[in-house]
Amino acid sequence: MTRPVTVVTGGSRGIGAATCLRLAADGHDVALVYVSDDESAERTAAAVRATGARCLTVKADTSDDIDVDRLFTTAADALGPLTGLVNNAGVTGRLGRLVDTDPAALRRVVEVNFLGTLLCSRRAAQEMSERGGGAIVNVSSAAATLGSPGEYVHYAASKAAVDALTVGLAKELGPEGIRVNAVAPGVIDTGIHAAMGDADRPRRAAATIPLGRAGRAEEIAAAIAWLLSPESSYATGAVLRVAGGR
Ligand code: NAP
């Protein structure tokens, strides 16, 4: 039996790293895509390989169409035909009100979170339709429906765009045997909060979460793994909220 081959963008750290490890445990070979942190990428790749899975690291900016072309070609050459894509790479920029956020930061959030998801989905769909099927999972956010006023409305809006893409692309690609779903995490304990200028955010958010705590990256990885697996064979166009009740 051939093993599934899955591209995970933003696989070096946080939710993406947990996803690479979970998929490896489920029998996938993985192309781990990251943009800058070589050390974390190599550390996660070594942990994936220790499970017996193949893991290729590819340094690429998912918001750049030339990089995206290269990453899919490299992955297919090294690992074989693509069966899955996890569009997980994402950034928030610094926390703050829209009026105080500079245009370059707005552009980066939209380009990485939304354009990057479009570019990777487009390229993966080309390969998957040739092969006769596959599964795409987009990592959205509960912010898409909460709006995140005072924190990052532009980020929330970029994730709402990902949700709309999930619905439309699922309908467009369903006849080709390609399923497209999303996972919408709530507050998850990763390095993204320190990067937005508030490392303590997951701990403080606990008071506003019905389950009383921030989530763990592994809890999101489990939902992603399910949506990639044959167990979810009739699910497409779904946005699965994994947010502790928020
Ligand atoms: P994280 O710990 O900050 O990790 C981000 C990952 O994305 C890293 O692997 C990073 O690579 C990669 N990345 C960033 N920009 C990229 C680009 N242009 N091209 C390729 N890779 C890029 O983030 P996380 O918390 O795991 O979040 C993962 C996803 O979940 C994001 O889409 C985020 O919006 C979403 N999410 C997170 C939370 C949360 O509370 N953590 C909640 C809802 C949704 P480097 O290591 O090279 O920098």
Label each residue of 189-208 as H, E or C.
Answer: CCCHHHHCCCCCHHHHHHHH
Residue 120 has a pLDDT of 99
Tell me how far apart the alpha carbons of residues 197 and 192 are, in angstroms, rounded to a whole number: 9
Say what percent of the chain tops pLDDT 70: 100
Q: Which bin fits 132, alpha (ψ -120 to 50), beta or left (φ > 0)?
A: left
| pLDDT score, position 222 | 99
Over range 56-84, report the average pLDDT.
Answer: 98
Residues 6+ apart with CB under 8 A from 219: 188, 242
CA–CA distance, 91 with 195 (Å, rounded to integer): 9
Q: Whose CA is nearest to atom 24 of ligand 1?
A: 14
Q: Cα of 238 to ligand 1 centre, how many Å? A: 21
Listing from the earlier edge strand, what are the strands of the sheet with 5-9?
55-59, 29-34, 5-9, 84-87, 134-139, 178-185, 239-242
Backbone φ and ψ for 37, nearest 5 degrees, come out as -90, 85
In 11-64, which ranges are continuous DSSP H helix?
14-25, 38-49
**Topology of 5-242 in CATH?**
Rossmann fold (3.40.50)
Beta bridge partners of 58: 33
CA-wise closest residue to 140 among 96, 196, 181? 181
Residue whose Cα lies nearest atom 46 of ligand 1: it is: 37
**CA terminus-to-terminus distance, the chain:** 41
Residue 14, ligand 1, Cβ within 6 A:
yes
How far, in Å, from the CA of 190 to the mean position of ligand 1? 9
So where are the chain's domains?
A: 5-242
Distance CA 34, CA 11 (A): 6
Average pLDDT over residues 223-230: 99
- Would you name the residues annotated as active-site residues? 155
pLDDT of residue 203: 97
Query: Over the stretch 110-149, which tens digit does the pLDDT of each residue have?
Result: 999 999 999 999 999 999 999 999 999 999 999 999 999 9
Residue of 2 and 156 predicted with greater confidence:
156
Q: Which of 159, 190, 224 to mutate to test the pocket of ligand 1 (most atoms within 8 A of CB)?
A: 190
Is residue 196 within 8 A of residue 92, CB to CB? The reply is yes
